[in-house]
Chains A and B, each alone.
Chain A
Amino acid sequence: MARSVPLPEATGPLLDIKGLRIDGRSEDRWHEIVKGIDLTLRRGEVLGLIGESGAGKSTIGLAAMGYARPGCRISAGVVLFNGTDILKASEAERRRLWGSRIAYVAQSAAASFNPAHKLLDQCVEASIGHQIAAEEDAKRNAVDLFRRLRLPEPEQFGFRYPHQVSGGQLQRAMTAMAMSCRPDLIIFDEPTTALDVTTQIEVLAAIKDIVRQFNTAAIYISHDLAVVAQMADRVMVLRYGELVEEAPTRAMLSAPQKAYTKSLWAVRSLRKEEETGDEILLDVRGVDASYGTLKVLHDINVKVPRGRTVAVVGESGSGKSTLARVITGLLPPRAGTIRFDGKPLPPRLKDRDKSLLRRIQMIYQMPDTALNPRRRIRDILGRPLKNHLGLSGAAREKRTLELLRMIELDERFLDRLPNELSGGQKQRICIARALAIDPELIICDEVTSALDQLVAEEILKLLLRLQKELNVSYLYITHDLATVKAIADEIVVMYQGRVVESGAKSQVLAPPHHEYTELLLSSVPEMDPDWLDGILKKRENASLSA
C-alpha cells in the first residue's frame, strides 16, 4: 500500500521484536518452533508473514501481543511495543493493551464470536470494557465501522446474531470489533483462508480500505502469496520458525532471492496440457437430488471420459459434494440416470455389486478423518487388497509395498499409525487406498484444499503421474481455480445446484464467460500488488455503466 500522507509521530518503530525464540511442547519435551526472529514494524505499515503450515507464523503473530498459546512458551527475546517490553509487563498491563492498542482477527470468525450475543454488543465490548468510550458513542462508532466495511444495512446489522450472517460478513464484523478502539496494531491471522474466492475479495477490499483510512499498522499472516501481495507493504517469508527472506512487497515479487521463496512462487504455475477423450466412462444425465424436501441439485449433466480429468468448480453450497454423493450411491437421485461404462449404475450403494464398487473410488478433503486412527498403514492398504482381489500373505505384502512406492513412500511407513504421518503423507495413503483395487474412476473431493501450497502441488503432480500410468479418470471437485488449471481436461462450473457452464478447459477459461464463471475467474488473486485495486475499479466502473 503506497501512502501519500507522511507518517505521524514516526519517532521509533511501533513494534520491535528481537531474537524471539518460542518453544512448543510435544511428547513431554520442549522443541524450539520459533528460532530467533527479528521483526520491526513502523507505524501505519502492513507487514505480511508468509510460510507453509508449521512455519510458526501464527505463533509469531501471537507473540507480538506478548501471548503464548497453551503448550508454548516464549523462551528468549524482547517484544517492544511503543518502546516498552510487553513480555516483562504484568498480566494486567498486557490486558490493558489487548483490545485497545493491539487487536487480533482470527482465521475463523465463526468460532471467535459468542453465538449467544448480538454482533453489536460484542463489537462494543472492548471499548466499553477499556473505558475508552461511553456505550452510546461506542455503538455509533461500531455502526460507522460497519458502514465503512460495506456491510449491508449497517444500522440494522449489529442486531443480528453471528449465525444469521454469512462467513464473509462475520469476518468483516470481526475486523470492525478489532477496529472499535482504533488500535495501533492489528494482527490478521489468515482472515480469508476459510472463505471462497468470491467472498474473499470483498473481505480483502474492506480490510485494506479500513487499515488505510485509520493508518493502522498490521501484521498480515497468510500462506497465500497472492493475498499478501495485495495487503502488505513488506513481506517476510518464514520456514521452520526461521526467516528465509525479507523485502518490500514489490521487490520480493519481482525478484525473489532464495530458492525456497522462488519455489513458493512457482506453485501456481503448474499446468496440464488439455487432452480430449472419446470413450465416455461416466455419464450423468438430468440428475436431480434433494436432502429431505430441500432440492440441492437441478438437472445435472456431466460426462467423464476415460483417463481424463473433469473438474467440478463452484463456491461452497453449490452442490459439488452432493454430486459426489449421488455418483457414489450414498444419496440416490430423485430423477435422472447415471451410466457407468455404458451400463446404468444402480442408484443405491447396496444394490451395487462388489466389482462395481471396486471401479469407483473416492478421496476425501480431510485426510485426518479419512483414515482410521487406530489402524496401521499395512492394514489400511492391505484390507481392500484382500477384500476385492483376494490377496493374502506374501502376495498382499508385496502389493502393499508396490502401492507405497507408487505414492513415493516406502516400507518404513507400513507399521505406522495415521497420526504419525504429516498431512501430505496421509493424503498419499488415501490415494493409495483408492488405487489399491484398480479403480477406473476416482472422485477427488477438494483433496488438496486442507494442505499448504507446496504439499498440494506435490499431490497434484502425483495424481497426474498416476493418471498417465494407470489411465484412471478423475472427477475433481474444487473451489480453487489454480488447481483446476493444473489438473483438468474439462471443466464443469456449478452454481446453486445447477451446471452453468461446461466444456473443455481452454473453452471454459477463455472468454466469453458465463456471468458466474467470469466472477469466479476474476476473483482469484494474482501475484500483482495492484491487482485488487484494479479489479475493484473495474467492477465499480461496470456497475456505474450498467
Chain B
Amino acid sequence: MSINADEFEMLAREGVTTPTVEPSDVVTQPLPMRRGSVDAAWRALKAAPLTAWFGLFVIAFYAALAIFAPLIAPHAQSAVVGNQYEPWSAEFPFGTDQLGRDMLSRLIYGARNTIGIAVMTTLLSFCIGGVLGLLASIIGGWTDQLLGRAVDILMAIPQLIFALMLLSIVGSSIPNLILIIAVLDSTRVFRLTRAVAMNVVVLDFVEAARLQGEKLGWIMAREILPNILPPLVAEFGLRFCFVFLTISALSFLGLGIQPPTADWGSMVRENATLIAYGDVTPLLPAGCIALLTVGVNFVVDWFLHKTSGLKE
C-alpha cells in the first residue's frame, strides 16, 4: 500500500477505496450506526497468523486457570495433602512439594496470584506513566523538565536493586509490591508516551481543539491518546512480561509474594533441591512463565505488525 497521495486521492474519488453507503441504506436507517467493532475484530482475527492464534490461545488458557482456580484445582494452595517430594502419580499428577502440598494445585493458584499481580502492576504503571507523559508533552516547559529529570533520577538506579531496597524498607506485602514495581516501571512508560505524544501534539488538530476551548483532560484523552494507542498497547504487552519476570525474580530472592501463597517464582526456589536429583518438577513453574511470555509476545508482534502495516 505505498502508492502516493495523488493516486490515492484519485482512487478515492472514483470511490474505489471509500466505502460508499447506498442511498437506500440511508433511508431505511436515518442515523446509521457505527460499523460493529466486534465484526471488525473478528475479521482481523481471521487474517491473523498462526503464531498470534497460539498466543491468544495461551493467554485465554491462563486467564481461565486464573479465574476458575478454586474450581479446577484439586486441593487448596496451602493444604498439606501428602508427603514431601512425592513423585508424579495419579493422585498428584505433578507430585508434591517440599512441604507435601499438591504441585498441580499450586501451579494453578500460582497463575491466579502471579498473573493477577502482574496485570494490576502493569495497569497501574501505565496509568501513572501514561498520564504524566501526556501532561509533559502537552504542557511542556517546566512541567516537562521537572517530570523528565525526576524520571531520570529514578532510572539511574538499577531497577531490581532499587525494588529490593524499597521492599526491605517498607516490608514485603502485596500492595507494597504492586505499588513499588508500578512506580519504577512507569518511568519507562513515561518516556515512551512522552516521545510518541510529542509528534502528535504539534499537529494542527490539537491546536484547533485548544482554540475551541477544549480542556487539558479532553485533549489528552480524545485528541492525543487514540493516536498513540498502538505503540502503547504493544508496550503494554512487553511491560507485562517484564513485570512478571521482576515479580518472579523478587519472589525467588524471597522478597516477593510471601508463603504460603503460591507463586511461580518462589515455587522454583522452594523445590530447587530436586534439580540435583534430575527431577523436572521444579522447572514446571519456570516453564509456565516462559510459555506465557512467549504467548504474550506473539500477540504483541502481531499487533505491531498490523498497526505498522496500516501506516504504510
Contact = CB atoms under 8 A, between A and B. Distances in A.
Contact of B3 (A71, A358, A414): A71
Contacts of A422: 9, 12-13
Interface string A315-342: 0000000000000101000000000000
Given A69-B4, A357-B211, A372 B227 contact: yes
A8 B4 CA distance: 38
Contact of A361 (B26, B31, B204, B211): B211
Interface string B104-116: 0000000000000
A69 B2 CA distance: 9
Given A54-B10, A56-B7, A375-B226, A358 B213 contact: yes
A373 B13 contact: no
Interface string A410-454: 011011100011110000001001000100000000000000000
Given A31-B16, A69-B3, A388-B213, A411 B26 contact: yes
Residue of B8, B18, B30, B205 with most chain A CB atoms under a 10 A cut-off? B205
A364 B2 contact: no
13 contacts: A29-B16, A33-B7, A53-B10, A54-B10, A241-B10, A328-B211, A358-B213, A361-B211, A370-B204, A374-B226, A383-B212, A383-B214, A387-B214
Contacts of A415: 32, 34-35
A77 interface: no
A384 B212 contact: yes
A415 to B, nearest CB: 6
Given A383-B222, A411-B32, 11 more contacts: A26-B3, A26-B7, A31-B14, A31-B16, A69-B3, A71-B1, A72-B7, A361-B211, A364-B208, A366-B204, A370-B208
Interface string A346-360: 000100001001101
B8 A26 contact: yes
A375 B21 CA distance: 19
Contact of B11 (A33, A357, A373, A430): A33
B9 A71 contact: no
A240 B213 contact: no
Nearest to B2: A71
B15 to A, nearest CB: 11
Interface residues of B, number: 40
B10 A70 contact: no
Contact of A54 (B2, B6, B26, B212): B6
Contacts of A364: 204, 208
Contacts of B31: 397, 414
A371 interface: yes
A369 B205 contact: yes
Closest 4 CB pairs of A and B: A54-B10, A374-B226, A71-B2, A357-B213
A59 interface: yes
Interface residues of A, number: 56
Given A375-B222, A411-B26, A26 B17 contact: yes
A497 interface: no
A420 B17 contact: yes
A26 B211 contact: no
Contacts of B9: 53-54, 422-423
Nearest to B213: A357
**Residue of A26, A360, A362, A384 with highest tally of chain B CB at under 10 A:** A26
A236 B10 CA distance: 19
Contacts of A416: 18
B90 interface: no
Interface string A369-392: 111111110000001100110000
Contacts of B14: 31, 240
A54 B211 contact: no
A469 B223 CA distance: 31
B290 to A, nearest CB: 36
Of B18, B21, B31, B213, chain A has the most CB atoms within 10 Å of the CB of: B213
Contacts of A55: 6, 10
Given A24-B11, A369-B205, A349 B211 contact: yes
B278 interface: no
B19 interface: yes
A351 to B, nearest CB: 12
Nearest to A364: B204
Nearest to B212: A384
B279 interface: no
Given A412-B20, A415-B35, A33 B10 contact: yes
A515 interface: no
B210 interface: yes
Contacts of B41: none
A349 B210 contact: yes
Interface in A1-53: 24-29, 31, 33, 53
A349 B208 CA distance: 12
B8 A56 contact: no
B203 interface: yes
A374 B26 contact: no
Contacts of A349: 210-211
A309 interface: no
A433 B209 CA distance: 10
A110 B296 CA distance: 44
Contacts of A261: none
